[in-house]
Every structure is written in structure tokens, then in C-alpha cells.
Amino acid sequence: MTHLRNVAGLTAIMLTVVTAAAACGGDGARSGDGTFVVGHAEPDHLVPGNTTSSYAFDVLSGLFENLVGLTKDGKTVNQAAASVTSTDQKVWTIKIRPGQRFHNGEPVTATSFVDAWNNAAYGPNAYEANDYFSHFLGYADLNPEDGKTKPKTDKLSGLQAVDESTLKVTLSAPFSQFPLLLTYPAFAPMPKAAFTDLKAYENHPIGNGPYQMSGDWQRNGAIKLVPFAGYTGTRKPRNKGVTWKSYSNADTTYTDLRAGRIDIMQTIPAAKVPEAKRILGDRFLTRQMGTTDYLGFPLFTGRFNSPDLRRAISMAIDRQGINKAVYNGDYIPADSLLPAVIPGHRPNACGEACTYDPAKAKQLFDKAGGFKGTLELYFSSAQPTYAQWMQIVANSLKQNLGITDIQFRQIPAADYFSTLSKKAEKGPYRQNWEADYPSAQNYLENMWGGAGNKMGWKSKEFDDLIAKGNQAGSEQEALRFYNQAEDVALREMPQIPLWTWAGQGGRSKRVDNVTITAYSNGLLAHEVTVK
Amino acid sequence: MRRYTLRRLLQAVPVFLGTTLLIYLMVFALPGDPINALAGDKPVPESVVAALRARYHLDDPLLVQYGKYMIGLLHGDLGENYDGQRVADMLAGRWGVTLRLAVTAWAFELVFGIALGVWAGLRRGRLADTLVLGGTTLLIAVPVFVLGYGAQLLFGVRWPVFPSAGTDEGWPVGYLLPAMVLGSLGLSYVARLTRTGLAENLRADYVRTARAKGLSRARVVGRHTLRNSLIPVVTYLGVDLGALMGGAIVTEGIFNLPGIGQQVFQSIQLKEGPVVVGAVTLLVLIFLVVNLAVDLLYGLLDPRIRYE
């Protein structure tokens, strides 16, 4: 018996020791070394042309500097470039600012851009951002239509290093938004050292940005960035470093923010927002975003041919009501096809068609001859909120228009986009667009343009206006054409705008001057100050 | 015993082949296309899709794909996921986390489970017994995510005794709280099995004989009764070690531990065949070895059990 008592006693002692050891290693471990920690999800790749993930952009924007960057309000500003000019919007001459170096000491030259872009545009490399190079002359030679034959060449014919500091780009068609396109993270330069072993490079990317890697990429762990002493640009870090820490679960990221183990979280899960507002107070960070949700009509089915029917459905949806019920009233109901953070947004461009008016909606609905048969609503399983608001939409359509036979089609997130691409949907579907770069063209051409829209909507008038905007010599002129194109899309309403997302993040007491933009530059890490 | 061990190890070969094929078929049967899912909702050109399909043999018939995978496997190559990461590297990185978590949780079950069981078993029907029975029932009843989030908020945020999540503090500190959460279910079973076995066996004739011989109580309980009562406990602990090695999706998620469970979960969603097959095959092998070890252990606990 004594020996058993001993066992119990020993156990008690072990528990105490273990708990005490744990206490030592707890919160106090984070020293005031002037660095801060941001929690996000694991990036997929860190080679600039091989990712379209915003979590990768988080890291890349510190490691790299593009020719052109964005300000807080989405205006272009030359970064690695001294000038970007064109007379016909087709041939662009880019002068590179002298004296820039990569983290390994290599100078940044025109060749650094040519090599990186050819590598990303070459089809067999299968880079995720490949499509962003499709504006370049010669893109088709690197990406054969059928995808089977080996390309004739691995160099874009429209891309040329004239000398060390001059880059000449020829596009396949005039594109006035080219400087904005250059802000997309895939257009970063890469040093010669990268191409000897791209796999090794990915574990320790060498860029030309204000921060460099400290140690290798710890997959599913942390990416530590420290200021690069040789940086000559305008984004000089005001802190001693930033650590991007990976989380597989946003709820846990939020818990760690509360526990003070991370300093910044960019997107707090919707369900935690009310609590976060209360707990964080002025450390709760709201921001405008560019991501907008739309409800598209599969015109190819022939069941949604009447613009009046489409407008009736738009007017039967209570955008503000859904916003309050599902998003705590933080989202912004759409009044145009473009979100407010995009140049060219005109308040109330959509007018009556985006205003909740059940009586008028019913009138239009009857005029269009109503809707017969089952109405199927398509959305993905990516967020639980999609199912919630689709439910409300269905109820509105039942009550306001009398469509009684409504069914939900929730598609696994991984298959949703291919379902739309194959035009397999039979009813209105949810789709969103997140800006690649702040231009009306980016939204309109990708979501409504003849080449890629998922509705099967064809409008020569629309496509011509976009082409005119792409050729325009000035930003004002381009916007005028884009807005005219927007008006065509609003008149026909093949896809109705719903609302624009709001970004809700938080910071710890240790950091200040936290700015998160609505664009691909995201968190401006270099501006953050650490107490 | 040697022949028995050899036979068991040989049996593992068809099990290994069967599981790999079965898992391969199952991953293949999942709906959706892994390549289309890669770029999210940004457009991917046909040339990129074709290049990826060719790189990962996705256009081959299923059995050819499986054959190529097995040939790679025999050369010690576990293949790549569709992001171009080597599966061997991915599993190696995560394996350490799962191993540490599993062993810590298991040790917690073993030490505290048996201790509580002995404590209650010796005091059958008294307060200690009631406390242990009631407490373990509660632990079995509460779902692990409630326990996990609860423990995290209480001991990670409110009173930060432990780190709330992550592996920054390393082993053991970073793993204690998740291990306790993960091990709480096993602890309950171990405590109850020990308690019941001990309480029953204490009434057996051989125990009375041992007492009558004048042996000390410690010797009677420790050597004669407890050892005999531990056979079901060892069975349970063995199976549970295998299960813990399989990773704990919920616990790993709550405490942000990048272990094998999370990997398998994510890879199933992304239809990453080579990752799922690699990870699960490894788990099957571990399970087989652990079970063999448990069976051999019986012989040590009860000399009457012999393997030929």
C-alpha cells in the first residue's frame, strides 16, 4: 500500500513540475525585439509567378518590389521603375531605377524581369499566374491551345531587355491598364541565382523588396522576414521584422490574438466579430474591400432570357436585410457593378434595379411572364454564410415573386469553379470577384467580358466599349468607356451585384500604425510600429 | 515466438498492398478535379492544366497511375503533391508533431489513467471511487472540441498557464495542453478498465491465498493483482497508441499543431492522392507494428499466454 501511495504522490509531483514548466514557457516568452507576428493561412507558393493566393501575397509584398506599386488608395506609384511610358498603349517602355539590388547582392536589371516573366508564362512550367501574361505578344507560342504539343519557344516575343535598365514590352493588343497590371505580385523580378534550383529558391526566396528571409520557409510554421539593409526604395521598414505565422484554423488565430501571441490578424471569422468588437475596442480594425458578390444568370439555359425577369429578381432581394442578418450590417450593399474602392465606381449607378422594391419587382416579374418550373440556386461550400443568405434570397423570391419551387445546390468548394466553367449550372449562381489590380476593367472584362463570363452572355456593344477603354490614351478617357460598358451590363443585368465585403481584423497592444489596404498589397508591413 | 513474429510481419505485406490499392481507389473516386481546384476562382489556361495533368499522370487509366505510384514507392519515392512538394518531406515535417503529441497524450493516459484506476479500485464504493467514475463519465461524454476550446480559453487565454496554440515553445510545453485534451478520453477508459479489473481481482481466491501467505499488501496488489488486471488495459493502450498516431484532426486544428491528421484531412479535400495514400499506408504499418507489440506484451504480463 505504501508503494501505491508513493505512486500517487509521485504523480502529483510530476503534475506540479510539468505545470510549472509550462508556466515558464508561456506568454512572457515574446521579447520586445521590435518585431511583430501576423497570423494567416499557409501560402501555397513563394515563387512570384506561381501563386494567386492572398496569403502568398502577404509575404511576397515584403520580399519583392514590382516595377509599379500601389498607394493606400490604389493609385499607381513607380517602385522599381523610374518610368513606364507608351504612346499607343501597345508598346511600353520601362526604365528601371538604377542602383537596386537583390538580397544576395545581384543588381536588379531588365533581364531580372525578362527571366522571371518568361519562366511564369511558359505553359509546361504550369505556373498558377500564367494567365496574367496573356496580354503579352507571343503568349500563345508558349501556351499551345491544346496543351499537348511542346511550345516552339520559351521566350515571350513581346518581352525584350533593350539594355541593363530598359525593358521593352509589346502587347498583343493595346491595354491602357498595363501599369496597373504590373502591380500584380506575379510581375516581380527574380535574380539569376533563382533559376539554378527553383525548388531551393522557393524555400528561401531572394527578392528586391524591403525585407529579406531570415532562415528558410518553415512549412506550416513561420516565415521570418527582417529588413534588407541594401533596400533603396520608398518602403523603408519602421520595425525590426515581421513573422508570418501559419494557422490551419481561423478561430485559433483569433484565440492567439486574444492571448497576445500574435499581433495582427487581417480577417476575423464573421461569427467572432461581435465579440472581437467588444474585446478589442479601438484595436478592432475595419477596412473597405474590393471583393464583391454577384448572382449570375445562366443565360445559356434559355430560361432567364428576359432582362425584366432578371431585374425583378434583383429588386426582390433585400440586400441591406441580408447584410444585417448575416454580416452584422458591416458589408456594403451594392449600388453599382464596381465596389467603392475601385476608380470608376459611381454611387447609385445601378439605381432602381438594385433597390429593394417588392411591389415593383412583382410588376416586372409578371410583365416578363413569370418563371415556370424549379428555380435552382447554386453556391459553394467555402463559407457557411453563403447558405445562410441564399436561404433568405429564396424566401424573398417566394414571398415577393411567388416562385415556390426553389431548390438549393451547394457544391463542394473545390468543384465550384469548374462547375461554372463547364456551364453545368441550371439556375442563378453566386460568384465573386476579388480585384487583381484596382481597375474597372479587371472586374468588367473578367466577369462580363465575352471571352470568360460564365453566364453565356454575349454583347458586342459591351466588348467594343471595353476594347475602346483598353486603347484609351488617358485614364479619364478609359474610365468613360468602362462606365459606358458598365451601363450596358446594368441595362441587360445578366448578373446582379449583391454586396461588397468588409475586412475586419484586429491588432495587439504592442503594435500601431496598422494599415490594411483593399488591394493586393494588403497589410503595409513596413509601416507598422512596435512598442 | 520468433516464428510467430515472422509470420505476423509477413502478413503485413498483403495488408500493405491491399490498403494502398484501396486508398488509391477511394481517393480517385472522390468527386471533383484536383487540378481545377488549385487556382481557386482565377482563370487557369488550358496549357497549364494539360501540363499539370501530364506531370502527375492524371490522364492515365487508374491502374496505370497506381502502378506508376507503386514503382516509385519501391524506389523509396512517395511522389509529389499537386503543388510540387515532395510527399516524403511533407510527411517528415508533420510526423514529428504527431509523434510528440501522440506519445505525450499516451503517456498521460498511461500514468494518470492507471494511477486513478488503482486509487479508485482500492477504494471501491467509497468517495474516491465515485469521484473517478463520475469524472471519467463526464470526460467521455463531453465532445473533444468543447473540451479543446474550453481548455484553450481557460488555460491559454484567461489564465495563461499554457501557450494557447502552436508549437513555438517546443516539446513538452507546447504539447501539454493539447495532449491532455487528446488523452482525456483514453485516460477515462484506462482508469475505468484498471479500476474494474483491480476491484474484481482483489476478491479472487489467489489473492486471498497470497494474503494468507503473509505477503505485504504492496506485493499482493502490485505483483499479483494489478499485473493480471492490466491485460485489457494493455490491449486498449496498444490500440489507442495506433489511433493517436493517426493524428487528431480536431485537436490539431484547435491547437494549430501541423500534424499528420490535418494533412490527411486537407489532402482529402484537395484530392491529393499520393499524400493520402502515403500517409495512410504509413499509419497502417504503424498500427500493425503496435498491435504486434501488444500481442507480444501479453506473454510478459501473463506467462500462461504462449505464441507458437
Q: What CATH number is associated with residue A160?
A: 3.90.76.10
Task: Judge whether A207 lies within some domain.
Answer: yes
Query: Quick one: average pLDDT of A28-36?
Result: 72
pLDDT for residue A374: 94
Cβ of A22 and B36 within 8 Å? no
Whether the per-residue pLDDT at A21 is higher than 50: the answer is no
Which residue out of A15, A219, A261, A446 would a mutagenesis test of the B interface target, given it has the greatest number of B Cβ atoms within 10 Å? A261
Are residue A44 and residue A93 in the same domain, yes or no?
A: no
Mean pLDDT of chain A: 91
* A354-358: average pLDDT: 95
CB contact residues (below 8 A), chain B span 118-147, against chain A:
118-119, 122
Chain B closest CA to A51's CA: distance in Å?
8
Strands A35-40 and A241-246: parallel
Among A145, A169, A188, which residue terminates a domain?
A188
Nearest residue to B25 (alpha-carbon basis) of B282, B280, B265, B273 = B273
Query: Distance between CA A210 and CA A233 in Å, rounded?
Result: 8
pLDDT of A418 higher than 70: yes
Query: In this complex, which of A18, A221, A415 lies closest to B258 when CB atoms are compared?
Result: A221
Compute the average pLDDT of residues B230-239: 88
Distance in Å, alpha carbon of A358 to nearest chain B alpha carbon: 33
Residue A263 lies in a domain: yes
User: For residues A62 and A77, what is the distance between their CA atoms, to the nearest angstrom?
Assistant: 16
Q: What is the CATH number of the domain that holds A371?
A: 3.10.105.10
C-alpha–C-alpha distance, residues A434 and A412, integer Å: 20
pLDDT for res A511? 96
For residue range A228-282, what is the model confidence (pLDDT) as tens digits? 999 999 999 999 999 999 998 899 999 999 999 999 999 998 889 999 999 999 9
Which residue range(s) make up the domain with A94? 68-99+109-188
SS3 A413: helix
| Residue B58 grid coordinates | 492524371
Q: How far is B52 from chain A (nearest CA, A)?
A: 6
- Give the distance from CA B295 to its chain's centroid: 17
Is it the case that residue A24 has pLDDT exceeding 70? no
B33–A1: do the CB atoms touch at under 8 Å? no
Pairing between β-strand A81-86 and β-strand A76-78 as defined by DSSP bridges: unpaired
Pairwise pLDDT comparison (A448 vs A9), residue with the higher score: A448
Kindly indicate the confidence band of residue A3, based on its pLDDT and cuts at 50, 70 and 90.
Answer: very low
Structural domain count of chain A: 3
> Does one domain contain both A152 and A40?
no
Distance from CA of B104 to the nearest CA of A (A): 12
With bands split at pLDDT 50, 70 and 90, how would you rate the model's confidence at B39?
low
A30: pLDDT strictly greater than 70: no
- Do the chains contact at A259 and B164, CB–CB below 8 Å? yes
Beta-strand relationship, A35-40 and A264-265: parallel
Q: Work out the minimum CA distance from A524 to partner chain B, whole angstroms.
A: 24
For residue A356, the distance in angstroms to the closest alpha carbon of chain B comes to: 29
Which of B27, B46, B48 to probe by mutation at the A interface, max A CB count within 10 Å? Answer: B48
Whole-angstrom Cα distance, residue A29 to residue A13?
A: 25
B153 φ/ψ angles, rounded to the nearest 5 degrees: -70, -40
Mean pLDDT of B260-271: 84
Are residues B267 and B279 in contact, defined by beta-carbon separation less than 8 angstroms? yes
pLDDT (0 to 100) of residue B41: 67
Whether residues A80 and A151 fall in one domain: yes
Q: Mark whether A324 and A399 lie in a shared domain.
A: yes
- pLDDT for A526: 96
Q: Do residue A55 and residue A22 come from a single domain? A: yes
Q: For a pLDDT cut of 70, what percent of chain A falls above it?
A: 94
The Cα A269–Cα A267 span in angstroms is: 6
State the pLDDT at residue B223.
Answer: 84
CA-closest candidate to residue B251, choices B177, B187, B190: B177
CA atoms within 13 A on the CB side of A517: 23
Confidence check: pLDDT of A5 > 60: no
**CB of B41 within 8 Å of any CB in chain A?**
yes
Asked if B299 reaches chain A (Cβ–Cβ under 8 Å), the answer is no
Q: Flag whether residue B50 sits within 8 Å of chain A, measured between CB atoms.
A: yes
Once rounded to an integer, what is the mean pLDDT over residues B237-246?
85
pLDDT band at B40 (very low <50, low <70, confident <90, very high): low
Boundary-marking domain end, from A188, A207, A225: A188
Q: Provide, as residue numbers in chain A, all residues whose Cβ is less than 8 Å from the Cβ of B48.
A: 123, 126-128, 130-131, 143, 147
Same domain, A527 and A424: no
CB contact under 8 A, A19 and B161: yes
Do A306 and A405 fall within a single domain?
yes
- Kindly state whether residue B42 falls inside one of the protein's structural domains: no
Asked if B251 and B165 count as a contact pair (C-beta separation under 8 A), the reply is no
Is B205 inside a domain boundary? Answer: yes
Residue B139 near residue B186 (C-beta atoms within 8 A): no
pLDDT band at A31 (very low <50, low <70, confident <90, very high): low
Q: How confident is the model at residue B235 (pLDDT cuts 50, 70, 90)?
A: confident
- The last residue of one of the domains, among A173, A188, A203, is A188
Is the pLDDT at A13 greater than 70? The verdict is: no
Sequence-distant (6+) residues with CB within 8 A of B217 are A1
Q: Distance (Å, rounded) from C-alpha B25 to C-alpha B23? A: 5
What are the cell numbers at B220?
499482493
Number of residues assigned to chain B: 308
- Residue A400 and residue A356: Cα distance in Å, rounded? 10
Q: Do B258 and A2 touch (CB under 8 A)?
A: no
d(CA A307, CA A453): 17
Cβ-defined contact of B164 to A256 (cutoff 8 Å): yes
Nearest by CB to residue A128, choosing from B31, B38, B163, is B38
Contact call for A261 and B163, based on CB within 8 A: yes
Q: Is residue A104 part of a domain?
A: no
| Mean pLDDT, range A346-368, rounded to an integer | 94
Nearest partner of A406 among A417, A419, A416, A397, judged by Cα: A397
Residue B285: inside a domain: no
Distance CA B125, CA B138 (A): 18
Please list the alpha-helical segments (H only) found in A299-426.
307-315, 319-327, 358-367, 384-396, 413-421
The owner of cell 447554386 is A378
In a domain, A197, yes or no: yes
Q: Is the pLDDT of residue A95 over 70?
A: yes
Q: Are residues A176 and A210 in the same domain?
A: no
* Low-confidence winner among A285-299, A448-462, B192-206, B237-251 (lowest mean pLDDT): B237-251
> Taking 70 as the threshold, does the pLDDT of residue A4 lie above it?
no
Please tell me the distance from the alpha carbon of residue B140 to that of residue B135, in angstroms, as a whole number: 9
Q: How would you classify residue A147: left for phi > 0, otherwise alpha for psi between -120 and 50, otherwise beta?
A: left
Looking at residue A20, its pLDDT comes to 43
Residue A458's CB: how many other CB atoms inside 10 A? 12
Q: Which residues of A touch B173 (CB under 8 A)?
A: 21-22, 24-26
Q: Report ipTM (2 d.p.).
A: 0.84
Three-point CA angle A323, A328, A329, nearest 5°: 50
pLDDT at B301: 76
Asked whether residue A275 falls in the same domain as residue A303, the answer is no
- Structural domain span for residue B135: 91-266
Q: What is the pTM for the complete model shown?
A: 0.88
How far is Cα of residue B267 from the mean position of the Cα atoms in its chain?
Answer: 18
Tell me the torsion sign for CA atoms A100, A192, A131, A176: positive
**Mean of pLDDT values over B154-173:** 86
Give the Cα separation of B115 and A11 in Å (integer): 8
- Do the domain assignments include residue A6? yes
Residues A202 and A60 in one domain: yes
Peptide bond into A144 cis (omega under 30): no
Which of residues B260 and A66 earns the better pLDDT score? A66
Same domain, A308 and A383: yes
On chain B, the residues whose CB falls within 8 A of the CB of A416 are: 41
The B residues from 166 to 225 touching A (CB cutoff 8 Å) are: 166-169, 172-174, 176-177, 217-218, 221-222
| B31 membership: H or E segment, kind and range | none
Task: Name the domain count of chain B.
Answer: 1
Distance CA A504, CA A182 (A): 28
- pLDDT exceeds cutoff 80 at A7: no
Q: Is residue A200 part of a domain?
A: yes
Give residue-wise pLDDT tens across range B49-102: 888 888 888 888 888 888 888 888 888 888 888 888 888 888 888 888 999 999
Question: What pLDDT sits at residue A26?
Answer: 38
Residue A190: which of A135, A234, A127 has the closest Cα?
Answer: A127
Can you give the CATH number for the domain in which B241 is found? 1.10.3720.10
Asked whether the beta carbons of residue B83 and residue A246 sit closer than 8 angstroms, the reply is: no
Assigned C-alpha cell, B127: 468517495
How near does any CA of chain B get to the CA of A519, in Å? 16
What pLDDT, on the 0 to 100 scale, is given for residue B75?
A: 87
Instruction: Render pLDDT for A436-495 as a digit per residue (tens, 0 to 9).
Output: 999 999 999 999 987 778 999 999 999 999 999 999 999 999 999 999 999 999 999 999
* pLDDT for the residue numbered A503: 92
**Phi, psi of A25, deg, nearest 5:** -85, 5
Q: How many helices (H) and strands (E) does chain B have?
A: 15, 0
pLDDT band, very low/low/confident/very high, at B290 (cuts 50, 70, 90): confident
> Alpha helices of B30-126 — where are they, by DSSP H?
34-38, 46-55, 62-74, 87-108, 114-122
On whether both A360 and A407 belong to a single domain, the answer is yes
